[in-house]
Amino acid sequence: MRTYVLLAALGCLTAAGGSEPGPYELRGQLRGVPAGTKVRLTRYQNQRHVALDSAAVDASGQFVLQGRLAEAGMYAFEVQGLKSVTRVPLAPGAHVRYDGTVDKLRLSAKLSGSPDAELWQRCSADIPFLLFEQHKATNGRLQQLQRLLRAHPDSYAGAYFVRHFLTMQESQQPFVDSMAAEYQRRLPDLALVRELTERRGKRQATAVHDLAPDIRLPDPSGQPVVLSSLRGKYVLVDFWASWCGPCREENPALVKLYQQYHPKGLEILSVSLDESKDKWEKAIRTDGLPWLHASDLKGWQSEAGQAYNVTAVPYCVLVDPEGRIVAKDLRGGALARKVAGLLK
């Protein structure tokens, strides 16, 4: 469930060229919902979801979504009443099979019928591992994922996965660079590939040892919070959101870290990717977060999030007293050990 909620926030990208217009079909079965439940296929365009087709499932859960596409890309399959979505790779001429189940408002699905759908099915199983459990990683699992992606260098689903889920992994940067070069060679017209290239450039601008981009955002009362004004302290810039389950799970550990090291010179600046001020403030109160908070309430279009190349939350950047980045994307014990080493 955590993965699907995150994916819903990410939106979906499509390719801007490289394919002739043609028909697509997404046919499948959705179990665990009453007959008549609406489903729809959308694409993310101009910061909103645009419907391509919709249907109602029949008594056995069957549905068909179809139409014409001018471009290949990742589209969103949505179910009435659910916040979670399923990403579906589709291209002109594609016929994809969807086999899904809703259990206690949790949506799970299996995709088949095209090479990109099957690759996405295999890769997406590793999303929770990459986002929330990589501190438990084994080299074997990472290498297996890399081999799978290398074996499909002309897959737009693979490019989407690399762009969204590997560019934020520090250990994966050499691999991301090599795959970005392959995608540029094989899929030069894909907007997703151009975004991957741009994303790499932004990430290099926030590399460890570089000066951290300044942040100037309002706090809940509307007063400006400025990162550069905190020079002289170690500052943990924590990107989060009230709707982010893993962020909320991480907060008790951050409270403990703050209580232990704030007297020794640690400050925390939490930058929320919320769009609702009420939900943002309620989460701060509920989780008892006593440090600095700031947000422009622009969600994934947050100016600070864009400057720091944030593609998923939780995500943090540790800044030294001179304003330089000393670590990124640490959580749990790894973050506590890093802070302890700096402020011992």
CA distance 140 to 266: 36
- Beta-strand ranges (E) seen in the chain are 22-31, 38-45, 48-56, 62-69, 73-79, 85-90, 95-103, 106-112, 216-218, 224-226, 234-240, 266-272, 292-294, 315-319, 325-328
Q: Given pLDDT bands bounded at 50, 70 and 90, which one contains residue 330?
A: confident
The CATH number assigned to the domain with range 216-342 reads 3.40.30.10
Q: What is the pLDDT of residues 256-279, one digit of tens each?
A: 999 999 999 999 999 999 999 999
Provide the sign of the torsion angle of the four alpha carbons 150, 153, 158, 160, taken in this order: positive
Q: Which residue has the higher pLDDT, 292 or 332?
A: 292
Predicted model pTM: 0.64
Confidence category of residue 344, pLDDT binned at 50, 70, 90:
confident
Peptide bond into 314 cis (omega under 30): yes
pLDDT > 50? residue 13: no
Order of strands across the sheet with 315-319? 292-294, 266-272, 234-240, 315-319, 325-328
Report d(CA 7, CA 10) in Å as an integer: 5
Residue with tokens 């729809």: 40
- pLDDT 10s digits, 20-68: 689 999 999 999 999 999 999 998 776 677 899 999 999 999 999 999 9
Does 17 score more than 50 pLDDT?
Answer: no
Query: What is residue 320's three-state secondary structure?
Result: coil
* Summary mean pLDDT of the chain: 87
Question: Tell me, what's the pLDDT at 202?
Answer: 66
294: pLDDT confidence band, cut at 50, 70 and 90? very high
Asked if 252 contacts 237 with a C-beta cutoff of 8 angstroms, the reply is: no
Domain ranges of the chain: 2-111, 129-204, 216-342
Tens of pLDDT, residues 231-252:
999 999 999 999 998 899 999 9
Q: What's the pLDDT at 164?
A: 81
Asked if the model's pLDDT at residue 149 lies above 90, the reply is: yes
User: Lowest-pLDDT range, 16-25, 67-76, 254-263, 277-286?
Assistant: 16-25
To which CATH superfamily is domain 2-111 assigned?
Carboxypeptidase-like, regulatory domain (2.60.40.1120)
Please report the pLDDT score of residue 46 as a whole number: 66
Chain centre distance of CA 304: 15
